[in-house]
A and B are shown apart, each in its own frame.
Chain A
Amino acid sequence: MKAVYKKPEVLKNPCFHFCPGCHHGTVHKLVAEAIDSLNLKDSALAVIGVGCGVFLYDYLDVDSLEAPHGRGLAVATGVKRVRPERIVFTYQGDGDLASIGMAESVHAANRGENVTVIFVNNTIYGMTGGQMAPTTLLGQVTTTSPYGREFHRDGYPIRMAEMLATLEGVALSARVSVCTPKYLFDAKKIIKKAFEMQLDNMGFTFVEVLSSCPTNWNMSSMDALNRVKEEMIPFFPLGVFKERKMPDVL
């Protein structure tokens, strides 16, 4: 019989440690599907940030490096520059990429490093127990904003995909979600496109995936899906904010 859906080949171990309903698993699957469909098993090199996605190397059968918290794009820059034939991607959370690693991330994007970023935005620090992240929504209760995020004190949530789209070095900047089948199929296409653009030496490709963290949102997985739809997407709109058609070479 023909497979309508089967486990991606490169996903060597699908026994994820994630909480029930956590979208990290879904994002792992989409990355694995992109690697399979472009035949990148031997060339892909994952640079993994610190956060709940930290065990990606246990699940995907690709070479991988573990970067210090926030420094994924500094590590990816080094790897890609000495091994330009490798398809280098980082997998980072919002605490990792947009808080402690903001400087490394923005400068790598600005330099137009030819790497791909899978940015999992769940509006919270998942792994460490639910602290406020730069992406935490106004009013959102976290362990470090017990009365809700308030802009006078905490600033506004940062829209990374839009912000990076303003930089000349960026080839692709998009935001996707996996909370409905339609959004999931769109996400699949964009993640694949990001890898294809790296293969074509287009420069920095960035895909932000809106994700749920039922545990630290104190919600059931069903309520968490609704939160992505009703609270996150209105503030973090889905779409492609920049897509370059030509490589950036003079």
Chain B
Amino acid sequence: MKKTEKKLTIHKERCKGCQICVLYCPKKALSIGEKLNKLGYRYVVLSKEDACTACGICAEMCPDVVIEVWRDNE
């Protein structure tokens, strides 16, 4: 069976570090990083890439459209 391809695009420049995505990620794959973005916020990072199932919940919940999620299901 071919492995499912998945990809998270994180537009870190617009992340405000609110943690809503971190709270609702069912796999606890996201966390707030140490570095600041240009807005001055500590932005979100995909800290456990393997755990992510590309379910899209983080992207749905993010108020600032920071995350986009892609998946290939062949």
Measuring CB to CB, which residues of chain A are less than 8 angstroms from any residue of chain B?
1-7, 11, 14-16, 18-26, 29, 178, 180-181, 184-185, 214, 221-222, 225
Contact = CB atoms under 8 A, between A and B. Distances in A.
Main secondary structure of the interface of B (DSSP, over half): mixed
A222 B14 contact: no
Contact of B68 (A6, A16, A24): A6
B20 A3 contact: no
Interface residues of B, number: 31
B71 A2 contact: yes
A178 B63 CA distance: 10
A29 B65 contact: yes
Contacts of A1: 5-7, 70-72
A14 B23 contact: no
A4 B61 contact: no
Interface string B33-74: 000000001000000000000111101111111011111110
Given A1-B71, A1-B72, A18 B59 contact: no
A214 to B, nearest CB: 8
Interface of B: 5-7, 11, 14, 16-20, 23-24, 41, 54-57, 59-65, 67-73
A2 B72 contact: yes
A181 B24 contact: yes
Given A180-B24, A181-B57, A222-B19, A18 B63 contact: yes
28 contacts: A1-B6, A1-B70, A2-B70, A2-B71, A3-B69, A4-B54, A4-B56, A4-B70, A4-B71, A5-B60, A5-B68, A7-B65, A14-B64, A16-B14, A16-B64, A20-B16, A21-B16, A21-B20, A21-B63, A25-B65, A29-B63, A29-B65, A178-B61, A180-B24, A181-B24, A184-B61, A221-B20, A225-B20
A163 to B, nearest CB: 28
Contact of B67 (A5, A16, A225): A5
Given A1-B7, A4-B71, A20-B16, A25 B56 contact: no
Nearest to B24: A181
B18 A21 contact: yes
A84 B5 CA distance: 46
A132 B28 CA distance: 37
A1 B73 CA distance: 8
Contacts of B5: 1
Nearest to A7: B65
